[in-house]
């Protein structure tokens, strides 16, 4: 007999627990009360430290890693139906496509983090673009519930895929309170002041514009620009721009840092800069505010939704290089402006809470199980 409250989590997509989606799943589900019964399907390389945080979960290994063959298997409704029947699950929860019609009578819930492939073909590779275009419409139709991480993403789902309001829930991200600047010893590893930007080195993150903007302030300020993120296609162009503008010796690239190192980098920065052209939420804006640092960001809808008036916003279409360089100098040369942004960020931060989002998610799960 199928359990009335057993929930299957497709966590095989989180073989790398450092991603924003993985961190979201971790922060939300460890706050959900113990009266729901979870089974998490994972790969062999899933974090053992994570597992310790969920002693009441059952973990089932369904592959050695998220290889191409595993992804093919993962996309099969028959594969999931067999697992869900065996483990007597009533609800299947995933962060990836496809949502198959062949999963059976279980309820289906999918989280959509962004629709970047609709914004620009440059933001995903050809294979990923084709898969998303092919599977997104049917997956959204077959899902009993669709979760968006921001109001902006929710509106995009309605506009592009006609997802009905009654099927859509907006459950926003939040930020680990460890990012609070007061909890970190401000010890700068570089012995020089620095600006910080965090994110994969890819086109939509717009780091090339930031490097050009930094070159415009470099003559009047002796600090560094620190970029943290793995290369996803933009590393060489970033390096080339830094060399051509004469700031390569003041550009620090960190492809991999620990979670604690990342928190320290935020806490010790002069300004956190978020130059993205597209986001589904804008987590780095929130992390910068949580770290007690002034934030400059592009004025894209998700950044506005997160920051409100607590960040300097730069129009991404009207001379963004000048906009960022001007904003950097304004904050560096005006301590009162910096303090104002920090104080506004502290107030704005109170609107985002993992606890509140977890309660909303738990309520959604219970409603789906009762239907």
Quick check: do 6-174+353-370 and 177-349 share a fold? yes
Question: Could you tell me the residue ranges of all domains in the chain?
Answer: 6-174+353-370, 177-349
Task: Report, at the CATH architecture level, how domain 177-349 is classified.
Answer: 3-Layer(aba) Sandwich (3.40)
170-210 pLDDT, tens digit each: 999 999 888 875 445 556 688 899 999 999 999 999 999 99
Share of the chain above pLDDT 70, in %: 96
| pLDDT, tens digit (0-9, with 9 covering 90-100), for 239-273 | 999 999 999 999 999 998 988 899 999 999 999 99
Spell out the CATH class of 6-174+353-370. Answer: alpha beta
Asked if the bond preceding 16 is cis, omega within 30° of 0, the reply is: no
Question: 104 — phi, psi (to 5°)?
Answer: 110, -155
The pLDDT value recorded for residue 2 is 45
Residue 140 CB neighbours (<10 A): 20
Is the CB of residue 37 less than 8 Å from the CB of residue 6? Answer: yes
Ramachandran class of 233: left when φ > 0, alpha when ψ lies in -120 to 50, beta otherwise: left
Return the pLDDT at 256.
87
* Residue 53 tokens, joined: 């945080």
Beta carbons of 7 and 365 less than 8 angstroms apart = yes
Exposed/middle/buried for residue 371 (C-beta within 10 Å: 0-12, 13-18, 19+): exposed
Is the model's pLDDT at 133 over the cut of 80? yes
């Amino acid at each position: 007999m199928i359990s009335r409250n057993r929930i299957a989590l497709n966590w095989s997509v989180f073989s790398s627990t450092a991603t924003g989606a993985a961190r979201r799943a971790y922060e939300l589900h460890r706050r959900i009360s113990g009266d729901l019964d979870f089974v998490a399907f994972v790969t062999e390389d899933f974090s053992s430290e994570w597992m310790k945080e969920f002693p009441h979960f059952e973990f089932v290994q369904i592959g050695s890693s998220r290889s191409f063959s595993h992804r093919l298997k993962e996309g099969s409704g028959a594969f999931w139906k067999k697992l869900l029947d065996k483990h007597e699950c009533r609800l299947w929860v995933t962060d990836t496509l496809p949502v198959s019609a062949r999963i059976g009578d279980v309820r289906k819930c999918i989280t959509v983090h962004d629709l970047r492939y609709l914004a620009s073909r440059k933001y995903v590779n050809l294979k990923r673009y084709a898969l998303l275009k092919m599977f997104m419409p049917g997956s959204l139709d077959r899902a009993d519930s669709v979760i968006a991480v921001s109001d902006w993403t929710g509106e995009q789902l309605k506009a592009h895929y006609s997802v009905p309001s009654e099927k859509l829930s907006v459950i926003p991200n939040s930020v680990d309170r460890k990012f609070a600047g007061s909890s970190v010893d401000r010890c700068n590893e570089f012995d020089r002041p620095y600006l910080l930007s965090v994110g994969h080195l890819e086109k939509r993150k717009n780091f090339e514009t930031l490097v050009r903007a930094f070159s415009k302030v470099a003559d009047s300020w002796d600090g560094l620009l620190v970029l943290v993120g793995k290369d996803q296609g933009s590393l060489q162009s970033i390096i080339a721009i830094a060399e051509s503008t004469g700031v390569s010796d003041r550009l620090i690239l960190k492809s991999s840092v620990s979670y604690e190192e990342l928190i320290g980098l935020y806490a010790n920065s002069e300004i956190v800069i978020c130059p993205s052209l597209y986001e589904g939420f804008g987590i780095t804006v929130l992390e910068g505010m949580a770290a007690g640092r002034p934030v400059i960001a592009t004025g894209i809808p998700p950044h506005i939704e997160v920051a409100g008036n607590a960040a300097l916003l730069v129009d991404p279409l009207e001379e963004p290089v000048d906009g960022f360089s001007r904003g950097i100098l304004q904050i560096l040369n005006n301590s009162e402006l910096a303090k104002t942004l920090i104080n506004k960020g502290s107030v704005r931060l109170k609107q985002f809470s993992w606890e509140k989002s977890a309660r909303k998610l738990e309520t959604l799960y219970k409603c789906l199980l009762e239907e």
